[in-house]
Chain A
Amino acid sequence: MTEDRSIIHINVADFAVAVERVLDRRLLGRPIIVAPEGAARAAVADMSEEAFQAGVRKHMPLSRALGRCRDARVLPPHPARYRQAMTRMLKSALPCSPLIEPGDGDGHLFVDVTGSSRLLGPPVDVAWRLYRRIRRDLGLAPIWSVATSKLIAKTATRLVKPLGEYIVEPGDEAAFLAPLPLFLVPGIERDDLTRLNDFNITRVFQAAAFTADQMRTLFGHRGAFIHERLHGIDPSPVHPANQPPPRVIEFREFGDDTNDRSHVEGTLYRLVERAGRQLRRQALAARRIGLVLEHTDGVRRIRQVRATPPTANDFSLFAHARRVLNLAWIRRVRLRRMTLVCDRLTYPPAQRLLFEPERRMAEKQDRLMAVMDRIRHRFGTDALVMGRTPAAVDELQKTEAG
């Protein structure tokens, strides 16, 4: 048996509002809504506890939010400020551990202090001191928790929001989770909740009564993951500070916001091509393909699918990416930015496909990719352009115009 992990989770509730309040103390105690300016259908990006109590929620149209909370002060988002605050939080945590995983500008930090108690003292004391340091240096009052995994630590801070602390003793994880509503467990998504709600299941202990096999019947390949989550099992590591988890990210900000399907799919293929080349150059394959869509009104939708078997082939990557696009793109509001994330990287599978036709097709595609990579390496990326990409369309338009 190895030593229990000690993971600290720092969570500044309503981060954007908290940062704005540090900079302008007059905002304290009054309802605040952070939402982009100038968008026809702006949505709430963040709100203060006062606004939340009045019924305002994230991603709610601003007009409806103001209907619920008429005296709210609306502020435009300042991502640069939030990134700066995150950097300073990270600096505060650096003396605690080299394993610090910050969130995406959202006031979250995971700090793994496993094995450092001889140097720094008990993990709970490290967490409290870190909380004090952030409060002193930044004027923010984060929620903090200590637990044996990121899953439990994050659930614990959700539980005491907007203020407080929670220590979950090792061995107490399942008992801690059991009485909680399912929506508090990170990783359990809206579709999962709906599915479980069909069975009148709303609490962790009810869902945890299912076996892993029963979960697989209900949720397919996600069943095993959900089963582990509900039993408090989360072996995912805290990644080192300034060293994000290995993944390939490609994004495109549309010059003019668009909801033109062929344009979006063409752009997606371009992103897939770039990501695929990076993967192949590193001799890695992605086990998960994710997509982040940002709409004109500031709403962000994130979806991901598992790639089985792992792949670095553009054709296969694009098939997965298009599936994710269909999952994520359900609003009519135009798109401003699209980010493709290939992660859970692994070495390409050594096992060949079982059935002859599939195997021949896959091998053919792999050979084609290798040839295309060689040509592009020698003559430049645009030496070969697929017909569906915007670059090809642009070229065609230029030719026609000429």
Chain B
Amino acid sequence: MAIKNNNPDRILVGTSGYAYSEWVDAGFYPPGTGSARMLAHYARIFPVTEINYTWYQMPKAAAMDRMRRRAPEGFRFTAKLTRTLTHEVDPNGWPGQATLYREGIAPLVQSGQLMAVLVQLPPFFRRNPNNRRYLARLLDALGDLPLAVEFRHTSWATDRVFAGLQARRVALVCVDVPPLPDLFPPLAMVTNPDLFYVRFHGRNTKGWRSGNMQKQFDYDYSDEELARWSRTHIPEIARQAATGIIFFNNHVRGQAPKNARMLMGQLTEEG
């Protein structure tokens, strides 16, 4: 469901990934739903999803094309940038990886279904001259794709970084995360007038650095926690960007689709 809001044409709410077998147990998918049928069911409820597996492997154009055809017309995607360009970078080989990524993602670009490429940088990627240079070159190399950058280290939370993103029309990903030292803080910030991008990771302070995704993203947002976003932060950033996408990454036990629906309900009420 796309939510009409005062200023932006559309705010799309979805989840980070959709093919979780545990969502069958959680009741989001009907009993017996196989992975191949999940996207069709998901698309009846949400208008957009974030493709996670492109972080693990370089997207392949044929597979990407088959996947997009399984979704209804008008359904949108964002795709994570592959780990060989964010977490496991080969200083000499990365330009080739960037080229492969662009080729792999091309079917979504050509069909007009790609809303953004998510450049999620690791916690160890701190702001220093080398990393700044690499990020600038990476954003240039992917320049013709719609980009959103998510930092995981607080050293990037400076006005100069935001200004740099603004100059490139690259969206800064606003995150909702646990209050932990060194972690990039939750900021309602728009650096691209075309797009704002929000990710709700959950606030599991204890599990965040456990090294286990099932603990890190195990969190169930309360109405009040989401209301702070739906009443204050989202209207504020929505006024500054034409379109917005909001994803819930707290996938454990089907909490992401549940919280996404709660937020959609609140945003609809807010008008």
Residues of A near any B CB (own CB < 8 A):
1-4, 115, 117-122, 124-125, 127-128, 164-167, 169-172, 175-176
Contact = CB atoms under 8 A, between A and B. Distances in A.
Contact of A122 (B17, B36, B67, B253): B17
A165 B212 CA distance: 21
Contacts of A119: 214
A167 B36 contact: no
A124 B21 contact: no
Given A120-B214, A125-B213, A4 B53 contact: no
A115 B25 CA distance: 11
Given A118-B22, A121-B213, A125-B213, A165 B56 contact: yes
Interface string B9-37: 00000000101111011000000111111
* Contact-residue size bin, chain B (C-beta under 8 Å from the other chain): 20 to 34
Contact of B56 (A118, A167, A171, A176): A167
Nearest to A127: B56
A267 to B, nearest CB: 49
Contact of B36 (A115, A125, A164, A169): A169
B57 interface: yes
A145 to B, nearest CB: 9
Interface string B38-64: 000000000000001100110000110
Contacts of B160: none
Contacts of A122: 17, 19-20, 52, 213
B66 interface: yes
A117 B35 contact: no
25 contacts: A1-B34, A2-B32, A4-B36, A117-B20, A117-B21, A118-B214, A118-B252, A119-B214, A125-B56, A125-B213, A127-B56, A128-B56, A165-B56, A165-B57, A166-B57, A167-B53, A167-B57, A169-B35, A169-B36, A169-B67, A170-B34, A170-B35, A171-B34, A171-B37, A176-B63
Contacts of B66: 172, 175
Interface in B196-243: 212-214
A128 B83 CA distance: 11
Contact of B63 (A125, A170, A172): A172
A166 B214 CA distance: 23
A306 to B, nearest CB: 32
A172 B25 CA distance: 23
B22 A117 contact: yes
B57 A171 contact: no
B22 to A, nearest CB: 4
B100 to A, nearest CB: 11
A30 B52 CA distance: 37
Nearest to B37: A171
Interface string B120-141: 0000000000000000000000
Contacts of B212: 120-121
A193 B268 CA distance: 61
A170 B38 CA distance: 10
B52 to A, nearest CB: 8
Q: Which interface residue of A118, A127, A128, A165 has the most chain B CB atoms within 10 A?
A: A118
A170 B36 contact: yes
A199 B34 CA distance: 37
A125 B32 CA distance: 23
Given A2-B32, A169-B35, A169-B67, A121 B214 contact: yes
Contacts of B21: 3-4, 115, 117
Given A167-B56, A170-B34, 10 more contacts: A1-B33, A119-B214, A121-B213, A122-B17, A169-B19, A169-B35, A171-B35, A171-B36, A171-B70, A175-B63
B135 to A, nearest CB: 23
Interface centre among B21, B212, B213, B252 (most CB of A within 10 A): B21
Contact of A169 (B20, B56, B63): B63
Contacts of B34: 1, 3-4, 170-171
Contacts of A171: 34-37, 70
B26 to A, nearest CB: 9
B166 to A, nearest CB: 34
A165 to B, nearest CB: 5
A395 to B, nearest CB: 62
A175 B33 CA distance: 20
A122 B214 CA distance: 9
Contacts of B25: 118
